[in-house]
Homo-oligomer: A and B are copies of this chain.
Amino acid sequence: MPTLTERIAAGDRRALATLISRIEQDDPEAREILGRMHSRTGRAMVVGITGAPGTGKSALVAALARILRKGTAGQPPRTVGIIAIDPTSPYSGGAILGDRVRMRDLAGDDGVFIRSMASRGHLGGLARSTDSTVRALDAAGFEAILIETVGVGQDEIDIARQAGTVIVVETPGLGDDIQALKAGILEIADILVVNKADLPGAETATGSLRAMLGLVDTGQSGWQPPILQTVALTGQGMEELAGAVYRHRDHLRRTGEGERREQERAETDLMGRLRDRLFERWQATGRRELAEMARKIAARECSPEEAVDRLLG
């Protein structure tokens, strides 16, 4: 009987899906498997696609996957893994597929693997399991990995930053609130896209992005984020977008920026893991005290600040 690791290495999709489910459940065996696979990771081109609701991200991700599959920008066809992050209920934990139906045609393609991830409600949980899923797809040999997130909350921004290249998607004529979100998210953008560019206001949106970009420190010398116009549903502008993704990948390699980001990511990830593990260890002995202390805090018999000191004292 081949092991799960061997089956994944041999291209078995069902084995890969099983591993990812175990990752989501934070199964210790999944951790072990990922640990063994680590040396085979780091080869995939990882692209984060983020933007507010209504910008047509899902359609853009599907269009990008299609063109990478075909081969574009002087590059051969690539196999593509897609990870769609869904904002979900803190209670039910169920993923909502929303308009992922737009990816239905890709589901029949053997060179494409699509996975929706749901938040497990614990801080850092989604970022962690997304990172592990990227590693699983990478080790399984997927050449391009696209991570789609709703770029509004801090969590989603953290997830987008796990990618080598971040595409921020905007659209003409969104409300004021969304303008306010842009400044924060612009700083993590390597490529900006005005999608639905056939709508009125595309030039205005492009111009205002350009103006905002001028105010932002992109934190990465030598790369000027391009602003592209696309109509994902018709494929317009998609070759240019794929070209920009490949150019950015080359930039990351040439300048060492990719390595720098990789190391920063590894450090952030490691800190989260240490936090969890230290707490797990402590909890093995302190679980009952914890509930009792929470009761005292709620009853104002003890402050949270004292509680921490007493529990660790």
Tell me the A residues contacting B by CB distance below 8 Å: 31-32, 34-39, 41-42, 52-54, 86-92, 96-99, 119, 121, 123-124, 126-127, 150, 152-158, 161, 174-181, 183-185, 187-188, 217, 219, 259, 262-267, 269-279, 281-282, 290-291, 293-295, 297-298, 300, 302-308, 311-312
Contacts and interface: CB of A to CB of B under 8 A. Distances in A.
Given A38-B303, A274-B312, A87 B279 contact: no
B38 A300 contact: yes
A289 to B, nearest CB: 10
Contacts of A35: 303-306
Contacts of A179: 98
Chain A binding site: helix, strand, loop or mixed by DSSP?
A: helix
Contacts of A302: 38
Given A54-B175, A279-B275, A270 B298 contact: no
B180 A259 contact: no
Contact of A96 (B180, B262, B270, B295): B180
B295 A263 contact: yes
Contacts of A272: 123
Contacts of A156: 152-153
B90 A154 contact: yes
Contact of A91 (B97, B178, B219): B219
B271 A217 contact: no
Copies in the complex: 2
Given A181-B87, A267-B290, A303-B34, A152 B152 contact: yes
Nearest to A38: B303
Contacts of A91: 187-188, 217, 219
Contact of A54 (B178, B276, B293, B306): B178
A99 B54 contact: no
Contact of A278 (B53, B96, B150, B312): B312
B158 A90 contact: yes
Given A155-B153, A275-B279, A300-B39, A293 B308 contact: no
Given A153-B87, A187-B90, A282-B274, A177 B266 contact: no
Nearest to A286: B274
Which 6 interchain pairs have the tightest Cβ spacing?
A153-B153, A38-B303, A35-B305, A98-B180, A53-B177, A267-B294
Contacts of A294: 263-264, 266-267, 270
A14 B39 CA distance: 55
